[in-house]
Amino acid sequence: MIKLTEDIDLTGYTLIIPSVAVGNVGQLAVDLFISSLSAKRIGYVWDSAFIPIVGPDPYDENSSALCTAVDLFCSTDKRVLLIQIRSPLSQKPFLFFKKLQNFITEKHVAKVIILTSSYSHEKRDQQIRTIPLRYIASPEIKSEFGAMFDSLNWTHLESKIDEYGRSEVLAIPGGGFAKNLYDIFVENHIPCAVLLRFCSEGDNIPDAMELANYLNQWLELFSKDASGNLLIRKPSSWRFLFGNDPPLEMF
């Protein structure tokens, strides 16, 4: 169930959704957009595919609002709808994909961008020698934005030979449900793109910053100061990503 708590016309909006993937890079990048755009929570998703959780507002320490496993946020200024996922999957989310597909169609959302990551140790030779960012795009996105991607010097995700050595396939190892969701949207003619960063588990904040900047080259969501620097605000909850510092008595 996708429940909107506010009645907003989402016609022509861009939907950004993270995949639960290595390093949680997509989710961290969505956090940056929600915080920097002061996006407003306008709904939530209840689905058995996600382990249910509840917690305090991750973006405002003075707020009494709660967050759930999957929340929806909106920036009317930028015409962007963001889905944030804070819970691991408990089962394959095919029913959730179908609900999301119907929601996108009913609300006349213009396009979908999936943010994810992929194992850095799976990189091949040509990927090692270039920047660790890639994209894939549906025919509709390529038709409208392909020239822009070329001007930005973006690199399309390289295909690889399948395990039987017979044909080339696009795969995102460690990328969670990103490729499956992308394939469903392409099959149903929903304009869609996947943006990913190769990474390893650890402190993935720098990876999230790079992925967010990568998307910003396309959509220009972040504001700039007088010097042209991007105004990116980290959520206050990020102070607790790694817990407290070790006690001095240990040393």
pLDDT digit string (tens) for the chain, length 251 residues: 899 999 899 999 999 999 999 999 999 999 999 999 999 999 999 999 999 999 999 998 888 889 999 999 999 999 999 999 999 888 888 889 999 999 999 999 999 999 999 999 877 767 777 789 999 999 999 999 999 999 999 999 988 766 666 667 888 999 999 999 999 999 999 999 999 999 999 999 999 999 999 999 999 999 888 788 889 999 988 887 776 777 777 76
Q: Is residue 121 part of a domain?
A: yes
Residue 135: which of 153, 121, 109, 110 has the closest Cα? 153
Q: Report the predicted TM-score, pTM, of the whole model to 2 decimal places.
A: 0.93
Domain that residue 161 falls in? 13-238
- Residue 249 counted as domain residue: no
Q: Which residue has the tokens 């910053």?
A: 209
User: Is residue 247 a part of any domain in this protein?
Assistant: no
Please report whether residue 116 resides in a domain: yes
* Number of domains observed in the structure of the chain: 1
Q: What is the pLDDT of residues 148-176, one digit of tens each?
A: 999 999 999 988 766 666 667 888 999 99
In a domain, 34, yes or no: yes
| 204 within domain boundaries | yes
The answer to whether 178 touches 6, Cβ cutoff 8 Å, is no
CATH code of the domain containing 156: 3.40.50.10900
Is position 245 within any domain? no
Written as one string, the DSSP assignment of 197-248 is EEE-SS--HHHHHHHHHHHHHHH--S-B-TTS-B-----GGGGGTT-SPPPG
Please report whether residue 1 resides in a domain: no
